[in-house]
Chains A and B, each alone.
Chain A
């Protein structure tokens, strides 16, 4: 699987990625030691259920799985202001932002361009296309907003980010950009996008309610976030590279993100897992020395030919078993 393997190395450059992983582990543990005693238990961040079972600990953080909807989340968890302070006070998230900014041109081609096209297709199919406003929440490098702009569908494309550096980068690319959170944004939009954002926030429920307020009636919300039913989560558990507390504090699945949409006043349009990297991620981890359970059939799949692997990846995609999930919903009422 030459193409996919090289794609993963472009999007997650090995040395930078390794360094980011070590920094995250160090800072995760450090954060836990400093703030852990202030953590509070929460109910399921998707369905609200109080029943959840322990899945694993990572860097001290307790990860539980909701017995009702299967969402994987950190509980007890840091208070919202502590969670936010992590992004300014620790090296790991700052370093990661740099990695993202450096690799984002590759992401743009591989991930953002098709996703932007999908988003515009969904908007075309579901709303009237006159004088429409698009808002990218947590826009980062602005490349996704730029890809959306290039689709030439919305009359206005705006990027929003809490990081001043990201806002400057966006502006340099000619984007209309604002610094702040969603609640700081004063305008209204017809389409909101949240790429790799919702897994970071203290209360996804509050964030979606806020998103609903900012959307015009019939407006569309797109969320891209990890799927905890994805292959690497199943195989690696706490060793999944994506499990990075306190940066990520929850992982939804196709069912639970739908439940959350409904609870916060959205109707679900589509949930899919168009990921292309699952096997490449597993392959790279195994090549780097991770021992899969003995006899696990996955090791045989990794050793098989490119076509067999591509075909398996397609199976994962089709059946919502890839770790990369994209969900669309429309503001109800």
Chain B
């Protein structure tokens, strides 16, 4: 898989330009809130860099990278529901690659989710931040009898989910009224990095899960190759969207802290090298001779085998986590 399969460079550039504009209209830096480490709640941190006026710091205890101070929950919600860049993301960024994402991301993910479900009974599954509902659609194709609920705050995308015959709650999980434990599986894909208060989010997710229910999430790993190497130059490290970058240790701390037991933490990502090679070949900053050499003279086999080394050793930026409610 290549980065361009799921993210068109020119469109991504335009999107980042719009975000830059929106930051000026939607955020009042004076109203930003000081927070503790979103993973371990530690108070000590080190300044890393500033990007578009947002300060990124890393936790002294668990090395989670996070924005601090950060915009409040309501400011973020307003930005996601009503900004030109959010609309551009849904219509111009996501739609053209939606089918590619269905095949390359959602389908394998649905198969994976199906594998961890208890097949003996009908399961209730909620996808938080369901977007266009593709993950649930794909899972429904594999296991049609389960109950599928899309939790999605955007009016437009919630409508699309409803058209697909999914049960929909148009809300953020944080704002949903507690309805007691009703799900066997709660999923949250590429969501944890956006959250104002991840601990609160996972507490809510836990409350919505039945006893021994599972949470399945994917998020960014700040120890992953492209992020750790490119750091402030990484286009994935972009405010105000990406506020929290956990790692394989700190995501465990977070989930255990709110009452989960970890089943799996892995980094099955496939794009790290492709992203870095794109930066090198695009005339980006000098990342060092060894990486230049691999980009310039490395065989396809060498590049593939490097990426698979990253994935195997929990060093890819794309992290997958399964945890059980205890």
Among A229, A293, A307, A318, the residue within 8 A (CB) of B288 is: A293
A305 to B252, CA, bound (A): 18
**Which residues of chain A are near B301, meaning CB under 8 Å?**
319
Per-position 1/0 for B277-308, Cβ under 8 A of A? 00000000000111101100111011001100
A308 to B315, CA, bound (A): 9
Task: Answer yes or no: B21 CB below 8 A from chain A CBs.
Answer: no
Chain B residues 211 to 251 lying within 8 A of chain A, measured CB to CB, are 223, 225, 228-229, 231
The listed residue with most A CB atoms (<10 A of its CB), out of B225, B290, B293, is B290
Interface of B is mostly: helix
Contact A321 B309 (CB under 8 A): no
Contact B312 A311 (CB under 8 A): yes
CB distance from A319 to the nearest CB of B (A): 4
CB distance from A311 to the nearest CB of B (A): 6
Contact B315 A237 (CB under 8 A): no
Given the known interface contacts A234-B290, A235-B289, A319-B298, the answer about A295 and B229 at a Cβ–Cβ threshold of 8 Å is yes
**Which residues of chain B are near A300, meaning CB under 8 Å?**
223, 228, 315
CB distance from B24 to the nearest CB of A (A): 29
Task: Answer yes or no: A85 CB below 8 A from chain B CBs.
Answer: no
Task: Answer yes or no: B4 CB below 8 A from chain A CBs.
Answer: no
Task: Answer yes or no: B46 CB below 8 A from chain A CBs.
Answer: no
Task: Answer yes or no: A8 CB below 8 A from chain B CBs.
Answer: no
**Which residues of chain B are near A312, meaning CB under 8 Å?**
309, 313
A31 to B313, CA, bound (A): 47
Task: Answer yes or no: A315 CB below 8 A from chain B CBs.
Answer: yes
Among A234, A297, A319, the residue within 8 A (CB) of B299 is: A319
Which residue in chain B gives the minimum CB-CB distance to A301? Answer: B315
Task: Answer yes or no: A197 CB below 8 A from chain B CBs.
Answer: no
**Which residues of chain A are near B289, meaning CB under 8 Å?**
234-235, 237
Task: Answer yes or no: A3 CB below 8 A from chain B CBs.
Answer: no
Given the known interface contacts A235-B288, A296-B288, A319-B302, the answer about A304 and B228 at a Cβ–Cβ threshold of 8 Å is no
**Which residues of chain B are near A231, meaning CB under 8 Å?**
290
A304 to B305, CA, bound (A): 18
A315 to B311, CA, bound (A): 13
Among B231, B293, B305, B312, the residue within 8 A (CB) of A234 is: B293
Which residue in chain A gives the minimum CB-CB distance to B289? Answer: A234
CB distance from B321 to the nearest CB of A (A): 19
**Which residues of chain A are near B299, meaning CB under 8 Å?**
319
CB distance from B287 to the nearest CB of A (A): 8
A146 to B294, CA, bound (A): 38
CB distance from B263 to the nearest CB of A (A): 21
Task: Answer yes or no: A42 CB below 8 A from chain B CBs.
Answer: no
Among A235, A298, A315, the residue within 8 A (CB) of B309 is: A315
CB distance from A39 to the nearest CB of B (A): 26
A315 to B313, CA, bound (A): 12
Which residue in chain B gives the minimum CB-CB distance to A230? Answer: B290
Contact A298 B290 (CB under 8 A): yes
Per-position 1/0 for B259-274, Cβ under 8 A of A? 0000000000000000
The listed residue with most B CB atoms (<10 A of its CB), out of A297, A312, A318, A321, is A297
Contact B306 A315 (CB under 8 A): yes
Per-position 1/0 for B309-321, Cβ under 8 A of A? 1001101000000
CB distance from A105 to the nearest CB of B (A): 33
CB distance from A236 to the nearest CB of B (A): 10
**Which residues of chain B are near A235, meaning CB under 8 Å?**
288-290
Among A229, A297, A298, A307, the residue within 8 A (CB) of B297 is: A229
**Which residues of chain B are near A318, meaning CB under 8 Å?**
302, 305
CB distance from A2 to the nearest CB of B (A): 18
CB distance from B104 to the nearest CB of A (A): 25
Chain A residues 218 to 263 lying within 8 A of chain B, measured CB to CB, are 229, 231, 234-235, 237
**Which residues of chain A are near B313, meaning CB under 8 Å?**
304, 307-308, 311-312
**Which residues of chain A are near B306, meaning CB under 8 Å?**
315, 319
A319 to B306, CA, bound (A): 9
CB distance from A117 to the nearest CB of B (A): 25
A296 to B294, CA, bound (A): 14
Contact B288 A321 (CB under 8 A): no
Chain A residues 149 to 189 lying within 8 A of chain B, measured CB to CB, are none
CB distance from A312 to the nearest CB of B (A): 6
Given the known interface contacts A234-B290, A234-B293, A235-B290, the answer about A315 and B225 at a Cβ–Cβ threshold of 8 Å is no
CB distance from B235 to the nearest CB of A (A): 16
Chain A residues 29 to 76 lying within 8 A of chain B, measured CB to CB, are 70
Q: Return 27 A-B CB contacts under 8 Å, by A number.
A: A70-B297, A229-B293, A229-B297, A231-B290, A234-B288, A235-B288, A237-B289, A296-B288, A297-B228, A297-B229, A298-B288, A300-B223, A307-B313, A308-B315, A311-B312, A311-B313, A312-B309, A312-B313, A315-B302, A315-B306, A319-B299, A319-B301, A319-B302, A319-B305, A319-B306, A321-B293, A321-B294
Interface residues in chain B, defined as those with a beta carbon under 8 Å from any beta carbon in chain A? 223, 225, 228-229, 231, 288-291, 293-294, 297-299, 301-302, 305-306, 309, 312-313, 315
5 closest A-B pairs (Cβ-Cβ)? Answer: A234-B290, A319-B302, A234-B289, A308-B313, A297-B229
- Known contacts A231-B290, A295-B228, A311-B312; 16 additional CB pairs below 8 A are A70-B297, A229-B293, A234-B289, A235-B289, A293-B288, A296-B229, A298-B290, A300-B315, A304-B313, A312-B309, A312-B313, A315-B305, A315-B309, A319-B299, A319-B301, A319-B305
